[in-house]
Structure 1
């Protein structure tokens, strides 16, 4: 009786548990991603007197438009991001947000808020003469996708979201002040080591002060420490890749400066629950939410609350962390984009 009730309850809530999650020993080289492709179009788009955005298109020029929204803030895009989408069906649009990736000027904080980025997405859509598109975003990319969809609802056909982050103060505190530290005390020790003990009561403020200061050596030390912390806790099973990634001075500067800028300003949102309070606007939009059960960067509560608000959403809980390239997350994301490719 209890088993039947439990099964009916899960089906009713539209929460899906990936059956392959038991296969934790699968070959990490296996992938369900589509093969690498090159863009058929690249360009630059000046959005104000300061910022110029890089954008690209790949896949099928007259296909179903889909926008990839990268994470961070400040993370930038990469060629592998094209591979979540079937190029025989999708017109794949990717752009680098202000100060990120190939957009210029690099790591620029002026005129760089959530609302500037929301308008930039709409500017890209208008520039490419796209009427409606599917939106795909993970982590901060999911945040920005939701903000865009809540304003330009009629332009969104469907959404695929991973690792939902809603910019509530408790989410910021969990990752950067207290919470995640209990699970990764060794990496946390490295993260706090560059900040004097008397300033550790507010690490976001302490980091932001240094990342926006004039001492270039201190700025780079803090950029590496901030980036290494987040990269190290992103995977269910940490590896050496994070340490390699933070040797890229440009990337860590963009990532840490822009991310701390957004964190100290709480995403430039009007209220703590702004995204969830406005999510009802998206009630008619199909949405697939892919969430690592053991995501330390973006804990599952926000994904679950969003799913409860959106009647046309499905939530996929996986035995995974935060990292988008974990095999089970990749598999679920590709299945989700396949679902909407003929929408």
Structure 2
């Protein structure tokens, strides 16, 4: 399958109150009587991408998208108060109940894969299957892959890492980098705060794809500042707090979802989420299928990643329909 599905307009959108002053934006598209699927975006802080519905056959799927606490149209924007991992997991169930869905397929990429796995571990009976892209298990080694001077990203992109870690005291470490940026992003100095937002975002964006358009990685002028703000603020917040998870929590509890079917799609040259995490998850989860995409990195904007995701949703729809018979 060498194409994405046509984009469709949503037939419903709105907000759901999840408590502590937070309200989440959601929308529904496709077939109201189709297979319910929840698109869980990455980040933390990315919000819904414009083309996320193109991974699903709108005739077969009831497509639900939402924006996590502090992201996109959800309010309050870029807010870290009452914004932790398990709270976000519970938000998914609040949304499920609000929409009257008994169980759904979870489709999550990067940080979205983390939330999808955690939701499945806690609310197993409400999950029919998983499609995961760019797996992030939130372990120390996964955070180091992205931030540590000894991580793969720093080793392969030293000139960008030098810019990213400018002014951070040596010796560099994942913890020290998070502390530096967390302080800068909370600063009352607007110039310092905006510079830190852009530098964090530039680092993430440069790693996301094998080939970038001209200027990407050196400038954020072509990206909306709200996206830069929420991604940098929330990503730093979660990574500074070890993603609010016990070390290796997902793999140590994977036995709870061994019966759930899943597809794992991971770019071989993913510099944000290590390919070894996808392999470790697959080995611990026999009912999963792992597809390592040979010519891709992390982003769904890379064609081979997008095509693989479309094939995965097509195959999963067939499997779920057959399992009902």
Please tell me the TM-score bracket, short chain as reference. over 0.9
| Mean CA deviation greater in 195-204 or 314-323 | 195-204
Partner of 1:97: 68
Distance 2:244 2:6 in 1: 37
Distance 2:87 2:129 in 1: 22
Partner of 1:287: 262
Distance 1:332 1:48 in 2: 37
The question of 1:109 aligning with 2:114 is answered no
Partner of 2:285: 310
Equivalent residues in 2 for 1:202-221, closer than 5 Å: 202-221=176-195
The question of 1:239 aligning with 2:213 is answered yes
The question of 1:191 aligning with 2:167 is answered no
Question: Displacement, 1:216?
Answer: 2.0
Partner of 1:252: 228
Equivalent residues in 2 for 1:66-215, closer than 5 Å: 66-178=37-149, 179=151, 180-193=153-166, 195-198=167-170, 200-201=172-173, 202-215=176-189
- 1:40 aligned counterpart, secondary structure: strand
| Mean CA deviation greater in 161-170 or 182-191 | 182-191
Distance 2:207 2:309 in 1: 21
Structure 1 residues without counterparts, runs of 5 or longer: 1-19, 21-30
Question: Displacement, 1:196?
Answer: 3.9
Question: Displacement, 1:254?
Answer: 0.5
CA contact (8 A) 1:74 1:254 kept: yes
The question of 1:326 aligning with 2:276 is answered no
CA contact (8 A) 1:125 1:131 kept: yes
Distance 1:215 1:198 in 2: 23
Question: Displacement, 1:37?
Answer: 1.0
Question: Displacement, 1:78?
Answer: 2.4
CA contact (8 A) 1:37 1:82 kept: yes
Question: Displacement, 1:280?
Answer: 1.5
Question: Displacement, 1:71?
Answer: 0.1
CA contact (8 A) 1:86 1:341 kept: no
Distance 1:200 1:210 in 2: 16
Question: Displacement, 1:312?
Answer: 0.9
Distance 2:24 2:299 in 1: 25
CA contact (8 A) 2:267 2:293 kept: yes
- 1:147 aligned counterpart, secondary structure: helix
- 2:10 aligned counterpart, secondary structure: coil
Distance 1:48 1:177 in 2: 35
Distance 2:85 2:54 in 1: 26
CA contact (8 A) 2:268 2:293 kept: yes
Distance 2:161 2:285 in 1: 35
CA contact (8 A) 2:105 2:130 kept: yes
Structure 2 residues without counterparts, runs of 5 or longer: 321-325
Partner of 1:296: 271
The question of 1:337 aligning with 2:313 is answered yes
Question: Displacement, 1:262?
Answer: 0.3
| Mean CA deviation greater in 96-105 or 173-182 | 173-182
- 1:45 aligned counterpart, secondary structure: strand
RMSD: 1.5
CA contact (8 A) 1:36 1:79 kept: no
Distance 1:138 1:78 in 2: 11
| Mean CA deviation greater in 157-166 or 203-212 | 203-212
Partner of 2:323: none
Number of residue-to-residue matches in the alignment: 312
- 1:228 aligned counterpart, secondary structure: helix
Distance 2:232 2:222 in 1: 11
Distance 1:145 1:88 in 2: 24
